[in-house]
Amino acid sequence: MRISVPREIKPEEARVGLTPTMVTALVARHHEVFVEEAAGLGAGFADDDYRAAGAHVTSQEETWAQAELIVKVKEPVGTEYRFLRPGLTLFTYLHLAASRGLAEAMLESGVTGIAYETVRVGRVLPLLRPMSEIAGRLAIANAAHHLQFHAGGPGILLGRVPGVVPSTVLVVGGGTVGEHAARAAVGAGADVTILEANGDRLRQLDTLFPTARVLMSDTHRIEEELPRADVVVGSVLIPGAAAPKLVRREHLALLKPHALLVDVAVDQGGCFETTRPTTYHDPVYSVDGIRHYCVANLPGAVPVTATQALTHATTPYVMGLAGGVDAALATDAALAAGLSTRAGQLCSPGVAAAFPDLPAAL
């Protein structure tokens, strides 16, 4: 099979879909690999590393044109829509429920789209989990920075020092992002509360975090906890679907004037009603006097670490797809759960629910 790795062109994104080690393994199985020039530089891989592994290093046009299988990190942006076509399989994060424009482009093109974020093994999302772990930790690291006075914050340390009341962190959603955000916040010494709606998961979190408050999440509890928080981390995920809006605009009046909202669910539309995507270049905006930090693709800040963590997880699925897309989807239920579009139809229940007027094969 001809497998291609484009350079990511989404702003502030430097991860790469394949490492040279993966290229070596694919070439050893008699596949042909095309890597766009400079695709791996931000992740620590030079073009010569890919050449030494057996890849062809090519232009953007050639990389897309040669491909039967595209392995990316982030969803295509507008200038890449023209490369989508029937007979091409795209394996990447898609987050289609948060982007009608991309969903329509994929349907119109006839491309087969398989989304990392909905590949599922039981209740586990193995291709989302490593990035969620990183994103949770970065959420707290960035919150700590933006609480500082020189960053426009109130001048509060995220954590505690003897004799001073510690900062308070409210984590809404106790999945992988929430767990790792809580780990980072607890490690810093903050007063942490985790809200989680699943009873089984709540009990797990209660065991994991004996020094935190772990509470059942509902609208009433959210309204009770918001006034205490210096930082609110939104980390609620419904796989493949748009995130629920758990903190609404009227709730902003309950917050401390200096509170910071950090929405890690922004790639899926955000779990705060007032969320809109931002970038590391311009990460913070205010609504009703409350600052919001809503940087999309948070792990893009650490592309070396993130690429290694992601590709460790994607490797077996890439190898399976390289052996034949139809066979891989037919024999691997986890991979089949990631199928988002095919032959001009939506194949993901979550995306179909977000856009009920678009054609779906469900």
Active site residues: 95, 267
- The residue among 237, 244, 264 whose CA lies nearest residue 175 is 237
Show the CA angle centred on residue 313, arms to residues 29 and 269, nearest 5°.
125
Please answer whether residues 33 and 3 qualify as being in contact, where contact means their C-beta atoms are separated by less than 8 angstroms: yes
256/231 Cα distance (integer angstroms): 10
Place of tokens 């998961």: 201
d(CA 226, CA 335) in angstroms, rounded, equals 38
Cα distances from 28 to residues 1, 55, 153, 180, 319, in angstroms, run 12, 11, 53, 37, 11
User: What is the distance between the terminal CA atoms of the chain, rounded to a whole angstrom?
Assistant: 29
Sheet with 56-58, strands from edge to edge, namely 56-58, 32-36, 2-5, 69-71, 89-92, 112-115, 339-342, 345-346
For tokens 């609504």, name the residue. 287
Could you identify the residue written with the tokens 């984590």? 171
